[in-house]
Amino acid sequence: MAVLEKFIELVKIDSPSDPASPTCPSTAMQLDVANHLERVMKEMGVSNVRQKDGYVYGEIPATPGYEDKTAVGFIAHMDTAPEFNGIGVKPQVIENYDGGDVLLAGSGHILSPKDFPVLLGYKGHTLVTTDGTTLLGSDDKAGIAEILEAAEILLQGEIPHGKICLGFTPDEEIGRGPLKFDVEGFSAQVGYTLDGGAAGSIEYENFNADQAEVTIKGYSIHPGSAKDKMKNSLAIAMEFDRLLPANERPQFTEGYEGFYHMNELHGGTEESHCTYILRDHDSDKLAARGETMQKAAAFLNDRYGEGTVTVEITHTYRNMREKILPVFEVITIAEQAIRTAGLTPVTVPIRGGTDGATLSYMGLPCPNLGTGGCNAHGRYECNTKENMEQCVQIALEIVKGYAAL
């Protein structure tokens, strides 16, 4: 079964995660993918296949004589994004795509290169789209399919290699992917997540991320007799937000520029709560954002009374760059692999997070490789057979690169 068939089989298994669920995995559906992967890997001949807490692991032993080579891990996630319908995926396969509009037959929407110019580069490819009623799940079932295809090729024994470690995680889309990942048991010395992005992309810089919980306390007084008495917490919440730099918001920033983003506000006159996410590639600048919020709170407490505004900041994840730089061969080997596969390496800072960032801080240096997909998390998500095949080749060339060291 080639990579396209593996991919089609996987996307038909529903597996959205659920941020409101405290369980691991957050949805029982993800276990359907985990059980599928456990069965498939055992049938392929992968060694030491095991499952725990919805995480699935496997190994391909080193070729005799290559036992001292670096153990390389490949990791992808099983869940799909909860932001858009991921139930009942019906992939459309268009062979020899002509570069024109594609009807998403289930909804009547049109996938057009006028809206998504990247499609023009897929002319002649076998294009896989949604039917318009769901996302596709290329993020990240393309990564899973590519890892499985690479593993199947390695198991044929024609490519000498060190130990290869395979890992599949739940709940990446809700930020919990690495939380119960068994780094020690995984036993890789370096790793690569295959997760989203164009074929040939490699990412090793991501945001530093904090979350700020802001609580505003007021006084609820009947509006008819509220003069000089009412303290409207919602109005103060809006005032707090205006004290933060207006141009440092997601809609005004790009590249290495960080931001403040209020993504939740609820409450009433008496009490309200705001949740902010704070992002910056530079850790000192991220810390300064937290200080700015505390200064805003202090200013409003001077105006409205001590304890009116409180800000609690928690760390979410950190930029993997400082963990990657000391072992930069993980990047140089990947870049050479991409060139050997006929592509030009593209490195851009991630304006978000990745399982690899957390895993890097857990002791497994783990940059991210693209899987060929685009338009993730929605009805216009797509990928191509040729993109996925190139990603398989990149993974194999990485294996060869470490075997040659």
Length of the chain as a residue count: 405
Tokens of 307: 């304890």
From 254, 255, 140, 127, select the one nearest 192 (Cα to Cα).
140
Which member of 131, 140, 172, 173 is catalytic?
Answer: 172
DSSP 225-287: G-TTT-B-HHHHHHHHHHTS-TT-SGGG--TT--EEEEEEEEE-SSEEEEEEEEEESSHHHHH
- As beta bridge partners, residue 131 has none
* 302: Cβ contacts below 8 Å, ≥ 6 apart: none
Tokens of 88: 């009942």
Does the active-site annotation cover 172? yes
Which member of 14, 38, 59, 79 is catalytic?
Answer: 79
Q: How many contiguous H segments (helices) and E segments (strands) does the chain have?
A: 10, 16
- Report the DSSP pairing between strands 202-203 and 102-104: unpaired
Does the active-site annotation cover 210? no
Q: What separation in angstroms does the CA of 3 have from each of 166, 199, 384, 395?
A: 16, 14, 10, 13
Helix (H, G, I), strand (E, B) or coil at 146: helix
Residues carrying an active site annotation: 79, 172
